[in-house]
Chains A and B, each alone.
Chain A
Amino acid sequence: MSPVFAIALNTFRETVRDRVLYAFFVFACSITVLGILLGSLSVGQDIRIIEDIGLAVIAIIGGIISVFAGTNLVYKELERRTIYVIFTKPVSSWQFICGKYLGLVGCIFVVVLAMGLFLLGLIWMVEPSHQVAQVPLLGASLGLVFLELLFVLALATFFSTFSNPIMSVVFTISLWFIGHLGGSLLDLSKMSTNAAVQQLLSSLYWCLPDLAQLTRIRSVLMYGREPSQEIIIYMLAYVFAYIFFLLGLASIVNERREFP
């Protein structure tokens, strides 16, 4: 077994055995159930509302888990001095970072899958005649949520290599939030008449993550339409390139660290 897989398995085991994760899961399911109440207030849109609320809850709770698990990734190892045991074995910095990241990815996958199945069960409970044809669209939406969480996790992992958990949480949530405003920066730069401001805003747009496209694709899916393949491929390439970049930087930062 390679060190990357061993660290991933160890991280996955440690995380899924943490009771806090189950508390989050129960909380997320409870809020999703509340969607039935809100859905009953609408006229013929109850399933839509349950789906919207369910997906939003999965994105938010999954995001919270990603942020907190990711930002504690290196800090917890330092605090518990387990890092001394890892880095005195033939494990390189990139193997450690990738292993920890993949372990948490596995955990987030389980969370998203479990909450997605719960949401699907709830939909069928409210409307047993819900069309089977709609299930792949819901699955694709969940896939996009998962993709976004992978990105958030990579951000949190990166920050955890050089700052304390509180600062890492602040940095990660800020960039995650800014990521959803990415398109607005480009629009603003086009609207500006000042060349310097235009340059500044468009540079910022290219440096900062742009997650707005993910939300747009999700909306298209929720209206029962299929987004174009080019956009899907572009988004997949964009998010994975960003993740590789962040994990690469995290490995370089970690490589230069000492463990006093």
Chain B
Amino acid sequence: MIEARGLSKDRVSSFLLRRSPILDGLSLSVKQGETYGLLGPNGAGKTTTVKILVGLMRPDRGEALVLGEKAGAQSALRKIGFLPENPYFYSHLTGQEFLEFIGQLFGLKKTELRDRVKQLLELVSMTVDADKPMRKYSKGMLQRLGIAQSLINDPEVVFWDEPMSGLDPIGRRDVRKILLDLKARGKTIFFNSHLLPDVSDVCDRVGVLAKGKLVAEDEIKNIVHSGGHKDLEEYFLEKVGG
């Protein structure tokens, strides 16, 4: 379903064109219906990995496949949903107009689009604020709208970069609920997060990324129940050497 084979990506400094690796031979695979959490300290390469998987960046070496297609191929993009980190959208549009716009990019028909937008606004508790311009939205509201736009095409695979970022405890609970609902519907979920208790609650499997390399990967049940670790945080700190 999602496959990364030896992904490498270098950062080229503007001075002397010196290269430093962001990703260094990353390989991982996520099965259909699995919820996979990619963990790692800041600068480990999590966001770069997601950006390669959704086609915003190209690997220098290696290849990335999503739903059997090359990452970023139009046919793959039709079936995925993506939430960027700290999303910020068009300030002069209302939340409703924005979701309609995203639906139009998928070619949704008028009635189908109207129903889908209504349904998603309810899902992320944004119905009341749907007619306000987005410049008046708080960070949490933008995050909710970002989640809604990532689901407009009822995707088979969801990529969420820090979905809990900027949300209050109620918002985090709601997002957890959406994640569990998507999981129950058999969707494949790939997400990055720093909030380890949330990851522990929803993921089937996690990978730990450090300095561009996958240093550990295991199922949550093995980590918490039989792996001799108190919780995911202890496992994470052990693997990244914190």
Contacts and interface: CB of A to CB of B under 8 A. Distances in A.
A136 interface: no
A49 interface: no
Among A10, A80, A81, A89, the most chain B Cβ lie within 10 Å of the Cβ of: A89
Interface in B60-108: 74, 77-78, 80, 82, 84, 86-93, 97, 101-102, 104-107
B78 A84 contact: no
A132 B58 CA distance: 60
A91 interface: yes
A91 B107 CA distance: 10
B56 interface: yes
A90 B74 contact: yes
A3 B84 contact: no
Nearest to A6: B104
B101 A10 contact: yes
A194 interface: no
A90 B77 contact: yes
A7 B98 CA distance: 11
B105 A80 contact: no
A88 B106 contact: no
Contacts of B80: 88
A39 to B, nearest CB: 38
Contacts of B101: 6, 9-10
B56 A84 contact: yes
A17 B54 contact: no
A2 B107 contact: yes
Given A82-B90, A85-B89, A85-B149, A91 B55 contact: no
Interface string A44-85: 000000000000000000000000000000000000111011
A205 to B, nearest CB: 37
B90 A14 contact: yes
Contact of B92 (A6, A17, A88, A92): A17
B84 A85 contact: yes
B88 A87 contact: no
A9 B86 CA distance: 25
Given A9-B104, A87-B55, 7 more contacts: A1-B104, A6-B104, A10-B93, A84-B82, A85-B102, A88-B56, A258-B56
A128 interface: no
21 contacts: A1-B107, A5-B104, A6-B101, A7-B105, A10-B97, A13-B93, A14-B90, A14-B93, A81-B88, A84-B82, A85-B84, A86-B105, A89-B102, A89-B105, A89-B106, A90-B74, A92-B74, A258-B56, A259-B56, A260-B48, A260-B51
A18 interface: yes
Given A88-B82, A259-B51, A260-B57, A80 B89 contact: yes
B188 to A, nearest CB: 16
B37 to A, nearest CB: 20
B107 to A, nearest CB: 7
State the majority secondary structure of interface residues on B.
loop
B84 A84 contact: yes
Contacts of A3: 104-105, 107
A64 B56 CA distance: 32
Pairs A-B, 7 closest by C-beta atoms? A6-B104, A17-B92, A88-B82, A84-B84, A89-B105, A259-B56, A1-B104
B116 to A, nearest CB: 14
A81 B142 CA distance: 13
B108 to A, nearest CB: 8
Interface string A1-26: 11101110110011001100000000
A10 B57 CA distance: 25
A110 to B, nearest CB: 15
Contacts of A17: 92
Interface in A219-260: 258-260
Nearest to A86: B105
Contacts of B54: 88
B76 to A, nearest CB: 9
Interface string B198-227: 000000000000000000000000000000
Contact of A81 (B87, B97, B105, B106): B87
Contacts of A88: 54-56, 77, 80, 82
A131 B73 CA distance: 59
Nearest to B11: A260
Contacts of B74: 90, 92
Contacts of A89: 77, 102, 105-106
Contacts of A80: 88-91
Nearest to A256: B58
Contacts of B58: 258
A139 B102 CA distance: 38
